Amino acid sequence: MRFLQVFVVLLLSSALFAQKADKLLSAEMDNVIREQFSDPKGPGCVALVARQGKVIYHKAFGMNEVESAKPLQTDMVFRIGSVTKQFTAVGILQLVDEGKIGLSDEMQQFLENCPEAWKTVTVEQLLNHTSGIHSYTSMAEFDNEFQGKALSVNGLIDFFKNEPLDFPPGNAYAYSNSGYVLLGYIIEKVSGQTYADFLQKRFFTPLGLKNTYYDTDGLKIDKRVQGYDPDMDTIARAAFLSMSLPYAAGSICANAEDLLRWTTSLHSGKLLSDRLYRKACSAGILPSGESIHYGYGLMIGSVLGSPTVEHGGSINGFLSHVLYLPKEQICAVVLSNCTCQSPDAVAAKIAALAAGKRLKPDAIAVSDLKIYEGVFVKGELERYIRVNENGVLTSQRKGGPVFKLTPFEADNFMFDSGLATGKFKRDAAGKITEIAVSDRVAEASVWTKTDKALPELPKEILLNEADLKPFTGIYQLVPGFDITVTQQGKRLFIQATGQQSIEMFARTPTRFFAKEVDAEIEFSPENNSFILFQNGQEMEAKRK
């Protein structure tokens, strides 16, 4: 009897400890999300985390309808953009499992009057973005006016079928929405069903995905979320996009619980043979031996040493990310109703917390950060490591953003951008020779230190408010991608679609540079435009 009493006490103590741990974990996840989705009166997100299929965190932040102050709820339905691609990929792979198509089958077998350049493109190359077929969403003609048009599948293919290949099929990787449109077409051709019916009968109904839909123009959905896009220094309701255009590349909408149910089904072996499941979750390899870190409709990465299978989505008014840790069986879903803040880092961080990982290791003191400074190269690329004016070590790829490096072990640093790390290597004399950068969705890249001098930083001049006012406005860089210029007193800011705001500093009365990224802009108010200088390119943006 005494033993039973002790056993019961131990069980109760264990349960109380678990409850306390869950509360602490939930609070940590709250902090991660609020760092990014900080305005409770603006658009926000729904976040869900599950371990071994059991939900351990599920909350909503921010507003569904900003104008009427209607808050988001956890069961609401979001457009998920390119997360759709894994549904399309699994549909194709099921047809492969059934012997109805093969991964090496060529486009000319499916498409009548197939363009000559596409004839030898394989199903596998469409799946892993190595087809070379140009993405239609990057075409200049894919502008706001075109995005309002409803097209048939054949009409959509006709829109991009005469575009030249980006590269010979199979020789490189370039993300292509066009490839997934063609995969949707193949599904229809082989199954004899519309893509929408195929999804419903294969996935939505049998898996119990009651809040997942193939979206169409005018479709009425209970608890559909309103989407928003940045607009100057505020936000606006997302511009209309005919849902016939994303098609098999991005037209699904769902809530977080259904995406967990889908992810659990996919990774528990319910949908594919083991052989094809492993191929879908394995990074493709180019003829050069380089990994593309993409399987079939899924990105392959890692979170602080744990492998991930994941994918993000972006569509007018919405950003999404679904991430899975196979070893820990942890799933994180983050759905946002504004293209203001990318949720991929948030998903990675809350998944890492659920796996018991520390996001911020204890910083250690380094007596001389100057020893790490220099120009590091990888092929023709350059990376600049320098100590900034505040005595902080920073890293910047030429043409890219500036990241703070925090030391946590001898010669080991963490990037403040998320969960990437940099490890410096020394020679026998203790001199720094290289840095190995480990990113979430790439293998560690080794950069070799050179004797080149660090480029001088541009010098800032001060302008008054009246000098800055003519530059404000919305500028279109390419169709679907705007740069908004705003002013706060004597400070000027730019914000690209789906990205954070960046402060610009005057080099001359019309030319500005960023400290956070390697980019400059030269304004031409009389032409209502500016030139963006970045990555060795000059790109004109016209005021809308």
Q: How far from chain centre, in Å, is Cα 311?
A: 7
d(CA 115, CA 135): 15
As a CATH number, domain 369-449 is 2.40.128.50
Contact 132, 174 (CB under 8 A): yes
Indicate if the pLDDT at residue 430 is higher than 70: yes
Residue 243, both tokens: 């849902």
Query: Residue range 255-259: average pLDDT?
Result: 98
CATH 3.40.710.10 domain extents, the chain: 78-354
pLDDT tens per residue across span 125-139: 999 999 999 999 999
- Average pLDDT of the chain, as a whole number: 92
Measured from the Cβ of residue 141, the count of other Cβ atoms closer than 10 Å reads 11
Among 292, 355, 300, 295, which Cα is nearest to 327's? 355
pLDDT-derived band of residue 442, with 50, 70 and 90 as boundaries?
low
pLDDT tens per residue across span 482-539: 899 999 999 999 988 767 788 999 999 999 998 878 889 999 988 999 999 987 789 9
Among 109, 112, 129, 128, which Cα is nearest to 120's? 109
Residue 157, both tokens: 């293919």
The pLDDT, as a whole number, for residue 523 is 97
Query: Residue range 299-319: average pLDDT?
Result: 94
Residues 6+ positions from 540 with CB-CB distance below 8 Å: 529, 530, 531, 532
Residues 6+ positions from 27 with CB-CB distance below 8 Å: none
Task: Give the CATH class of 78-354.
Answer: alpha beta
CATH 2.40.128.50 domain extents, the chain: 369-449
Task: Say which residue, 414 or 178, is predicted with more confidence.
Answer: 178
pLDDT tens per residue across span 80-108: 999 999 999 999 999 999 999 999 999 99
Indicate if the pLDDT at residue 170 is higher than 60: yes
pLDDT tens per residue across span 2-41: 555 544 444 444 443 445 567 889 999 999 999 999 899 9
As a CATH number, domain 465-543 is 2.40.128
Contact 300, 307 (CB under 8 A): yes
Contact 305, 317 (CB under 8 A): no
- Which range among 39-53, 195-209, 481-495 shows the weakest confidence by mean pLDDT? 481-495
Among 43, 40, 500, 496, which Cα is nearest to 226's? 43
The pLDDT, as a whole number, for residue 443 is 67
Among 178, 150, 152, which Cα is nearest to 164's? 178
Query: Please, what is the angle between helix 84-97 and helix 256-267, to 10°?
Result: 30
Contact 107, 96 (CB under 8 A): no
The pLDDT, as a whole number, for residue 12 is 45
